[in-house]
Structure 1
């Protein structure tokens, strides 16, 4: 897909992967719809994107609130009729054991990470199907394939995203609308600024830049694949986990459980 004059909506656009994705799409001439809760951050980014001479629409919205998503989608579709690319990037994690996290903390992750994606798809998919074109990019995580202690509720939301995307991909066969999941390893963003991560090491030596993931998102917007894992070498680890779970799961579980126990 040539991105020039294409409309790209990005959730979680105020920082990190979402912000960098907006910049990368704008560099290629796409019109950008910025969606996040923090209007001041979106306005700052919109000003930054002016240099690319593209149309930018700022839409403050909490994607976990289905009524806000409904109103946001109305405003977007009034201006653009339909969007060409939907990037469901909004998401966060709260670190802690299931026994220590409150039900509200567990639910909040599912509401933003999974239901927020679903609300956006439900509101924008009909117009994509009507014009028989478009692509949905869901930003998940390698945690969509590994259930890890300390982030069980986050993993659940990303497992759900991947499963939903796979089922929807089958439904979209031969409609002209595509869907691809981008699943990165740890990324150097403000994702880990949540107080629950305070006692954890910030980033591993193998962590990715937001620009690396943004480039993968652009690739995904043109891809027929279900999932793009970043970096691609990690796909072998996912294959091993699914092929030899009795061997791999205990190793991973012990490693992450040790980390969880060490901060109590």
Structure 2
């Protein structure tokens, strides 16, 4: 897809990967509308508008209608908002589970539901969803996050096939561990202890834009993470055994009350 002269709604654009996408999109000639609960964090930038949108809200569908009325020229959406918590399942409150499911999965489904009819009618449009390696590999301490990202991967796959005979593009990009402020110190220490490489948000943002420009339907980032995704899909017992060996290290950092 071309980026020049496009109007992209960017969800999750005030931090991490989303924030790293703003300037490259503007440099590519796109107009960017950053929607967030705290749009004021972005400040003023040429080629960038800000709007309020609460992805966890019960009335998100109504908020999307109001946003579309304010910005009728949106012809692409990049959904890279997300929430997670590194903790055992029994340490998480029901509200924390709900927030992850609402932001990571429900909001993506409502965004697709809202924009697909418009894009189909216009004869073009793009929906880009940022998932995770943990959307293909279950990892201890991320049960709710994995559930939401597995769901996101399945949703985008089904939606892409549902729209296969239309001009609407559906792109799914799955980064591996990324060095963002969303990670608490315990998670960064765990990644170092396990020898996991953490990508910079700017690198991930560049890969997302490359996937968009090359019309890639699916893109998984990182090696050997891409290999593990394939192995986990074919021979999950191999990954089970590998993670069983890592479990004592993971448990050292898996403490109640560690929020991310």
Q: Same fold (TM over 0.5)?
A: yes
1:119 aligns with 2:110: yes
Q: Does 1:94 align with 2:85?
A: yes
2:53 maps to what in 1? 61
Q: Which moved more, 1:226-235 or 1:88-97?
A: 226-235
Partner of 1:179: 170
Q: What are the within-5 Å matches in structure 2 for residues 1-264 of structure 1?
A: 1-42=1-42, 44=43, 47=44, 49-50=45-46, 54=47, 56-81=48-73, 83-193=74-184, 198=186, 201=189, 204=192, 206-231=197-222, 233-256=224-247, 258-264=249-255
Shift of 1:29: 0.9
Of residues 33-42 and 137-146 in structure 1, the stretch that sits farther from structure 2 once superposed is 33-42
RMSD: 2.1
Name stretches of at least 5 consecutive residues in structure 1 with no aligned partner.
none
Instruction: Give the distance between the partners of 2:210 and 2:69, measured in 1 at CA.
Output: 25
CA separation in 1, counterparts of 2:53 and 2:155? 23
**CA displacement at 1:202 relative to structure 2:** 7.0
Shift of 1:146: 0.7
What SS does the corresponding residue of 1:63 show, helix, strand or coil?
Answer: coil
Q: Shift of the alpha carbon at 1:221?
A: 2.2
1:198 Cα deviation from its structure 2 partner: 4.5
Displacement, 1:65?
1.4
**Cα distance, 1:171–1:125 mapped onto 2, change above 3 Å:** same
Return the structure number with greater relative CO, CA threshold 8 A, min gap 6: 2
Q: TM-score, normalised by structure 1?
A: 0.87
| Equivalenced residues, count | 252
Q: Secondary structure at the match of 2:189?
A: coil
Higher mean displacement: 136-145 or 95-104? 95-104
3-state SS of paired residue (2:89): coil
Q: Give CA-to-partner distance per residue, 1:194-250, whole Å, 9 cap, x none.
A: xxx647617546110111111122123234443201126532221122222122222
Measured in 2, the distance between the counterparts of 1:17 and 1:256 equals: 28
User: Once the two structures are superposed, what CA deviation does each residue of 1:136-156 show, in whole Å capped at 9, x if it has no partner?
Assistant: 111110000111110111000
CA contact (8 A) 1:180 1:221 kept: yes
